[in-house]
Structure 1
Amino acid sequence: MTASFSAVLRAIGVAEDELPNVGQLPGDPGSGAGRNPGLLGRLQLPSLSREQLRWLKPGPKRISAIVLLGGILYFGIIGRNRYQVTSDFIVRLPQAPNSVTPSLLGTVLAGPTMLGSLEDGRFLAVYLTSPEVMKRVFVKLEPEVSYARAGFDPFAGMPTPANFDQKLAFFRRQVTVVPQDLTGVIQMTTTGLKADTAYKLNRLLLDEAENFLNTSNQNISRNQQRFAEQELDVARQRLAKAQLDLASFNDAQGDVNPEARAAATSSYITALETRLVDLQVEEGRLRRQFLDPSSPEVIYVTDQIIELKNQIEEERSKLVGPDAMNFNQLLNQSRNLTTEVAFAEASVKAAQLAADNSRLESQRQLKFLVLLSNPEVPAMQSLDWRWKGFLSMVGLILVGWGMASFVLGITRRQ
């Protein structure tokens, strides 16, 4: 009996002298009649064979069996039910470009390519799992109640109390957004511990996705429209300033159009020069007719020529002279101001056209969410997580078993 109990103690790794207040069994050598028999005397253990004692020692097979049994119990019995809700949608433009052939669904669902929806799906995958969305959704779902831990399952549900990082990590585990590369369809799956919780989460996220598309498109369109209108206001202010400067210049010069005035003066000088040439021809004829140059006829024409030359010089000095009527500088200033006015008018026309195009383009580029499959309240629990978790555990056991066998094999060879 003592030998069997000592073998049990050695099997579990405990020495007899480590037990407090342990006495010898009756009949053992050295046992006194008046001594307390102690723990060994009070224990009545059956005799165990060596094969039975071998089962008390931990081994890889027993550990694997225990882990596998625990996995079967958790994933088959203890684990709480999970419910999943899936919805499919796509992001499309209201009108298809002329270069794209409409799809079978018609021009309403026709978009440029599925790449646009795929790109929007990637944006939505990040946005729908963002902290901002988590805050708004969790306020409506009350996760302390809908995702609270209950029963014997230590893993299902959100820990209480939970900080912000734990809530965010838990929320992201409940939401999966996967854009399909071939079709551009966006598939969103939500998980809940109750059927109605998973359904509400899916509906709330669909509303968030639609609001995100509408808000982002409206903000972009609003910013573009505001920028175009600001540019239009700047162009109009520039035109008003240019027109005011030109009017002030004309008022200062006392003329509506200095260039027309300069052209009239030039024409007047040209007419005087033509008259001068005629008088000079007439003077030559009279000098040949009258041999005396002091004759009244010749003097009369000569005086006209002298007076006409003086008049021409005076008119020319008004055009290019250094006095206040220097038409060259006035014309340069007038032409610069006129050019500024013309450029400002062209800028106003271009800005007005850009504003109109921006408004029309913003309405044409508005995106909207098209539901291909509406979410429904699940009637049965989802078994995916059970068999996936069990298979993952079996895979880990096999990998651990292989690594342990490899290490033990190397150790035994050494």
Structure 2
Amino acid sequence: MHSSLRRFVTSAPHWALALIAIVLVSFYWFIWAEERYVSRATVVLESPQVATPEFSLSSLMGGGGGNTHDLLLLREHLLSVDMLRLLDEQLGIRQHYSENGDLFAKLRNPNVPIEDLHKYYLRRVEVELDEYAGVLNIYVQGYTPEFAHSMASLLLEAGENHMNQMGHRLAEEQVRFLEQQMVRLDERFTETRAALLDYQNEHGLVSPTSTVESINQVVATLEADLARFQAQRNALASFQSAQSAELRQVERNIEALRDQIIEQRDRLAQATGDSLNRISAEYETLELQAQFAQETYSSALASLENTRLEAARQLKQVSVLQSPLMPEYPTEPRRLYNSTVFAIITIFLAFILSMMIMIIKDHRD
């Protein structure tokens, strides 16, 4: 028996080495490796059902990502160093993983740098995104069921708080920006309205434009009366003398109408002075400025209210589809699976090495 084993080792050392490796690794997985409990949770992100506003700052900026994008953000935060620091502060993961576990699986030094601790953390916490279902599956490994459950629960709570803080911060920045713009637009609107009122009081006109229209109507009426009296004068001149009382009365009416027309036209337009057309043009400019300021202020006010509604939609609630499981028996390590995979790979490598040795021998011969 010993001689046969010795011949086997001498003739095929690589197969003997492979067999020894398989035995040692199987011994580790089946006998030595310490059991780990896995707490699983499944979550989805939901937002409040608030009606989408027709006009909002976020719509102008291109809107936000979908639910998958938010889930990816949550996943990265759950696996981040910041989350690791929080877990260590509240649960003491350095102590738990260093005091439990076998030689190869435990955290050998509880005072390792945060980078090395994070690498170990990524081997004990797994967060998978199911894009089809739109959910996150969280797996947490611990050496006691209570620790695994507590760690999974804290991950969910801290993840929800983080997503809400992100939504609040973005919404608050949007609202703060619009409120600052509202103050500036309110001052501008007040200034333009005050300038318009001062101009009205200075010239004693509520609406110069309406006054100009009224004077134009008066001038048109006077010109119509002038034309009628001129026609009457021509008719009287055909059979009365120029000194007749009736004809002279008509002439006086014509002269009065002409003077009145000239006076009204002078009110409308003059080369110098405060003519109504100049006053009306300046008034219309001030009125347009006040109207534009009012419309801008109204639009900004509507945008502010809609952005406040949008702020409510930025809140992300981590809805738990599967609450963190309190494990009743250990599921890690997968002893048979790990041993089988290692044995298959080792046999495959030994077979390749055996083929290479045979090829080399054939070339030598």
Superposition TM-score tier, normalisation by shorter sequence: 0.7 to 0.9
SS in structure 2 opposite 1:148?
Answer: helix
SS in structure 2 opposite 1:88?
Answer: strand
1:359 match: 308
1:260 match: 210
Amino acid at match of 1:91: L
2:46 match: 92
| 1:75 equivalent in alignment to 2:25 | no
Larger RCO: 1 or 2 (CA < 8 Å, sep 6+): 2
Q: Distance in 1 between matches of 2:255 and 2:167?
A: 81
Please report how far the alpha carbon of residue 369 of structure 1 lies from its aligned counterpart in structure 2 after TM superposition: 1.9
SS in structure 2 opposite 1:350?
Answer: helix
Amino acid at match of 1:213: M
Please report how far the alpha carbon of residue 313 of structure 1 lies from its aligned counterpart in structure 2 after TM superposition: 2.0
Contact 2:18 2:347 in 1 (8 A): no
Shift in CA distance, 329/236, structure 1 to aligned 2, threshold 3 Å: same
Shift in CA distance, 276/118, structure 1 to aligned 2, threshold 3 Å: closer
- TM-score between the two structures when normalised by the length of structure 1: 0.74
Contact 2:29 2:333 in 1 (8 A): no
Q: Distance in 2 between matches of 1:394 and 1:224?
A: 59
Amino acid at match of 1:322: A
2:289 match: 340
SS in structure 1 opposite 2:98?
Answer: coil
Contact 2:45 2:319 in 1 (8 A): yes
1:120 match: 70
Q: Distance in 2 between matches of 1:92 and 1:120?
A: 10
Unaligned runs of 5+ in 1: 1-47, 99-114
Amino acid at match of 1:85: S
Shift in CA distance, 72/313, structure 1 to aligned 2, threshold 3 Å: same
Q: Distance in 1 between matches of 2:237 and 2:9?
A: 156
RMSD over equivalenced CA pairs, Å: 3.1
Amino acid at match of 1:72: S
Q: Distance in 2 between matches of 1:340 and 1:268?
A: 30
- TM-score between the two structures when normalised by the length of structure 2: 0.83
Aligned residues: 350
1:251 match: 201
Q: For residues 271-305 of structure 1, what are the alpha-carbon distances to aligned partners after superposition, in whole Å with 9 as ceiling and x for unaligned?
A: 322332233233224423433x2455544543442
1:61 match: 15
Give the % identical residues.
21
Question: Which of residues 211, 218, 234 is equivalent to 2:168?
Answer: 218
Please report how far the alpha carbon of residue 220 of structure 1 lies from its aligned counterpart in structure 2 after TM superposition: 3.4
SS in structure 2 opposite 1:147?
Answer: helix
Contact 1:149 1:159 in 2 (8 A): no
**Greater mean alpha carbon deviation, residues 204-213 or residues 384-393:** 384-393
Q: For residues 102-161 of structure 1, what are the alpha-carbon distances to aligned partners after superposition, in whole Å with 9 as ceiling and x for unaligned?
A: xxxxxxxxxxxxx95544332221110012111111111223311115676134225343
Contact 1:83 1:193 in 2 (8 A): yes
**Structure with more of its chain in helix, by fraction:** 2
| 1:404 equivalent in alignment to 2:353 | yes
Q: For residues 1-35 of structure 1, what are the alpha-carbon distances to aligned partners after superposition, in whole Å with 9 as ceiling and x for unaligned?
A: xxxxxxxxxxxxxxxxxxxxxxxxxxxxxxxxxxx
Unaligned runs of 5+ in 2: 53-64
Shift in CA distance, 408/332, structure 1 to aligned 2, threshold 3 Å: farther
Q: Distance in 2 between matches of 1:150 and 1:283?
A: 125
Q: Rg: which structure is higher? A: 1
Q: For residues 29-75 of structure 1, what are the alpha-carbon distances to aligned partners after superposition, in whole Å with 9 as ceiling and x for unaligned?
A: xxxxxxxxxxxxxxxxxxx9898587578811221122112102211
Matches within 5 A, 1:91-170: 91-95=45-49, 117-148=67-98, 153-170=103-120
Please report how far the alpha carbon of residue 267 of structure 1 lies from its aligned counterpart in structure 2 after TM superposition: 2.6
Contact 2:88 2:94 in 1 (8 A): no
Please report how far the alpha carbon of residue 85 of structure 1 lies from its aligned counterpart in structure 2 after TM superposition: 0.7
Shift in CA distance, 339/215, structure 1 to aligned 2, threshold 3 Å: same
Please report how far the alpha carbon of residue 207 of structure 1 lies from its aligned counterpart in structure 2 after TM superposition: 0.7
Shift in CA distance, 391/233, structure 1 to aligned 2, threshold 3 Å: farther
| 1:316 equivalent in alignment to 2:265 | yes
